[in-house]
Amino acid sequence: MNDQVTLMKGNEALAMAAIRYGADGYFGYPITPQSEVLEKLEEEMPWETTGMVVLQAESEVAAINMVYAGASCGKAVFTSTSSPGFSLMQEGMSYMCASEVPALVINVMRGGPGLGTIHPSQADYFQACKGGGHGDYHPIVLAPASVQEMADFVALGWDLAFKYRCVSLILADGLVGQMMEKVVLPEQRPRRTEEQIREQCPWAVMGRKDMRPKNIITSLELDDDKMEANNHRFQATYREIEKNEVRYELVDTDDCDYLMVAFGSMARIAMKTMEMAREEGIKVGLVRPITLWPFPSQIIAEVAQHVKGILVPELAAGQMIEDVKLAVECKLPVAHFDRLGGNVPTPDEMLKALKEKLINA
Amino acid sequence: MAKIRGAVTVNSERCKGCNLCVVACPCDVLDLMKKEVNNRGYHFAYMAAPEKCIGCQSCALVCPDACIEVYRVVEK
Amino acid sequence: MENNDIIKIENRVYKKPSLLNDSHMHYCPGCSHGVVHKLVAEVIEELGLQEKAIGVSPVGCAVFAYNYIDIDWLEAAHGRATAMATAAKRLMPDKLVFTYQGDGDFAAIGTCESIHSCNRGESIAIIFINNAIYGMTGGQMAPTTLLGQKTATCPYGRRADLNGYPLSITPLLAQLDGTRYVTRQSVHTPANVRKTKAAIKKAFQNSMEGKGTSVVEVVSTCNTGWKLSPEKANQWMVDNMFAKYPLGDLKNVDAEKKD
């Protein structure tokens, strides 16, 4: 068993976990606050050990299309970026989903819109969960709240991507990316051989070995009926993912009078807020969505049955709250609390908001 | 003296009647059908003067649709 | 000797390469794309790379190249073919990886990827079809459209003050340290077809040998877009295109070494 505890940044944990997973390639472009992913990979030189390819591309546009190609070849490839860069990658996200290729994409969010700030934000929730590019598609969106989860979700993201032939997106924020915590990295796995990839991914573009029928990865289908059938197939996959892959964490929800729904670093602050509230005799619980898509609507609806109101703290001006309201069908008060532009609230601020917006409202 | 004789076959259904083979032929062997068309409505190429063909492949080389096969023999 | 005596398998000296399948190509009659497709298929067969070839098709008229040549294909987003080829080749260095792109894809929307892939010296082959117009979308101005040339989006002829100058990108690529072989060819005569085939062969061999980037520009016609017959389009190309885009090798590191 590998249980060696090390201290590292969330971004570095992403890089190390990818090498340990047996990743075939990383293609990325530096942008704050996630540049440590590429920096760590270059420092580790995995091409000397596992044979993993690491390339600093000329842009996020190039990087995502390199990932598109690698994924089309059945390889375990990934990229990481931050919000402005993720905007540039939306076209590639759409193409990869349309081509049903398994890729891992990481967005360590910073405050926007525009160039915005370099500090933490969660304002890319819509872009991540509602389809930031064109057409009907969904990536699976994983929201880590600790450095350990940054490491763990790399493997989870790839496993899900290969299982469903879809794109997995790790939606972290600058706080989780930059903070240092204890982490236990997974054991080193060998990279898959070409034969193993051909077996696992018979659709992969790797050359027509033994003159098997040719493989084509394309997102183009000009026959409307065939394209509609493609869309129905994508949607069937998404329904399957919704059925099987909803993930969340419940904290103190059994006896709570009020509920908070928060993800990522805001969930961490919410947990401290809940402690302080309990000391004052206010019983608050937390649903922490781990998958933002598929969204844990059902559990939120269940917990909501015995609470008086819900607070949704976000580093965004009201994005996830829409999904919370849909989950509870607006049957009870759902209040919003945010800090924007790269600012992060203190637990005191959050507790004050909880009282003002919900308890004393 | 040995004499080179050639012949071509044209996949008339694949041919789009672009006329580039007719232009490329150094011996004026080929022409497009004047009235007859293929299933797509193209006046396809054919050997109008087969006796002149030397099997030089010029027509086949410039054919964008790879419709032409070339045969060649050396008559002793 | 009758025709039937000549037309026998043992006398056959030219046939459609088997990798070019029987699908009816969607290209207009006389389009240069067909010839270049045929050459790509022939070269892959002659080099015995049927099981190792990976093509990257563009957005543009050649978007459906994957329907015609029976190898594995990736279909890129507009302009991103060389980025895709970069990753495919780096992840599978033993494969032949080539892109097939038009002037809009390679020299307008994809210029950034084109230049950086060449500059990094990716061991990919780039086949660049320059017909000075956007064919698939209906004849709009391309980066390579000549001054004075009429298109749907410069209907009175390209003007430098309004539309900028035509982009001759290949000489620019020849200056980059990463390129091994940069050449400009055409397919309007049998002799030129042979030269282009030799160029594609060299480019593919360079990819297999990991020698850096090879660029084969094929100055081509778009007779539909130019509103000319295929024959007249060839003549127009000779009369107008070759002055701006002269044929020949722009860089051949291997030949320079021999000298």
How many domains is chain B partitioned into structurally? Answer: 1
| CATH code for the domain in which residue C240 is found | 3.40.50.970
Domain ends where: A176, A195, A214?
A195
Q: Which ipTM was obtained for this model?
A: 0.97
Q: Is residue A187 part of a domain?
A: yes
Both A181 and A269 in a single domain? no
A355, pLDDT greater than 80: yes
Both A43 and A168 in a single domain? yes
Both A113 and A26 in a single domain? yes
C203, pLDDT greater than 90: yes
Q: Is residue C2 part of a domain?
A: no
Both A52 and A161 in a single domain? yes
DSSP state string for A253-321: -SS-SEEEE--HHHHHHHHHHHHHHHHTT--EEEEEESEEES--HHHHHHHHTT-SEEEEEESSSSSHH
A203, pLDDT greater than 70: yes
- Determine which of C13, C129, C235 to mutate to test the interface with B (most B C-beta atoms within 10 Å): C13
Q: Is residue A204 part of a domain?
A: no
Question: Could you report the per-residue pLDDT of B38-74, keeping only the tens digit for each?
Answer: 999 999 999 999 999 999 999 999 999 999 999 999 9
Contacts of B75 in chain C (CB under 8 A): 1
Contact B66 C16 (CB under 8 A): yes
Which residues form the domain of B26?
Answer: 3-75
| CATH code for the domain in which residue A106 is found | 3.40.50.970
Residues of B with CB under 8 A from a CB of C: 5-7, 9, 11, 14, 16-20, 23-24, 40, 42, 47, 50, 55-58, 60-73, 75
Which residues form the domain of A280?
Answer: 248-359
Predicted confidence at residue C257, as pLDDT, reads 74
C105, pLDDT greater than 70: yes
Predicted confidence at residue C2, as pLDDT, reads 84
* B75 or A273, greater pLDDT: A273
Domain ends where: A195, A212, A230?
A195
Long-range contacts of B36-39 (CB under 8 A, 24+ apart): B38/B12, B38/B13, B39/B13
Token pair belonging to C186: 């055409």
How many domains is chain C partitioned into structurally? Answer: 1
Q: Is residue C1 part of a domain?
A: no
Contacts of A96 in chain C (CB under 8 A): none
How many domains is chain A partitioned into structurally? Answer: 2
Name the residue with tokens 């895709």. Answer: C84
Predicted confidence at residue C256, as pLDDT, reads 79
| CATH code for the domain in which residue B46 is found | 3.30.70.20
Q: How confident is the model at residue C1 (pLDDT cuts 50, 70, 90)?
A: confident
B75, pLDDT greater than 90: no
Question: Could you report the per-residue pLDDT of A70-123, keeping only the tens digit for each?
Answer: 999 999 999 999 999 999 999 999 999 999 999 999 999 999 999 999 999 999
Q: Give CA–CA dist A249/A360, Å, rounded.
A: 27
Please state whether the predicted TM-score (pTM) of the whole model is above 0.95. yes
Indicate the residue of B23, B62, B71 with minimum beta-carbon distance to C12.
Answer: B71
Share of chain B above pLDDT 90, in %: 93
Contact C75 A218 (CB under 8 A): yes
Measure in Å the smallest separation between the Cα of C96 and chain A Cα atoms: 9
Question: Could you report the per-residue pLDDT of C57-71, keeping only the tens digit for each?
Answer: 999 999 999 999 999
Share of chain A above pLDDT 70, in %: 99
| CB atoms closer than 10 angstroms to residue C8 | 11
Question: Could you report the per-residue pLDDT of A212-233, keeping only the tens digit for each?
Answer: 999 999 999 999 999 999 999 9
Predicted confidence at residue B1, as pLDDT, reads 67
Mean pLDDT of chain B: 96
Least Cα distance to A128 among A107, A146, A158, A113 occurs for A107
Q: How confident is the model at residue B5 (pLDDT cuts 50, 70, 90)?
A: very high
Indicate the residue of C13, C17, C190 with minimum beta-carbon distance to B71.
Answer: C13
Contact A65 C76 (CB under 8 A): yes
The SS3 assignment for C218 reads strand
Domain ends where: A195, A218, A238?
A195
* C258 or A327, greater pLDDT: A327
Indicate the residue of A53, A68, A208 with minimum beta-carbon distance to C71.
Answer: A208
Predicted confidence at residue C258, as pLDDT, reads 67
Contact C91 A207 (CB under 8 A): no
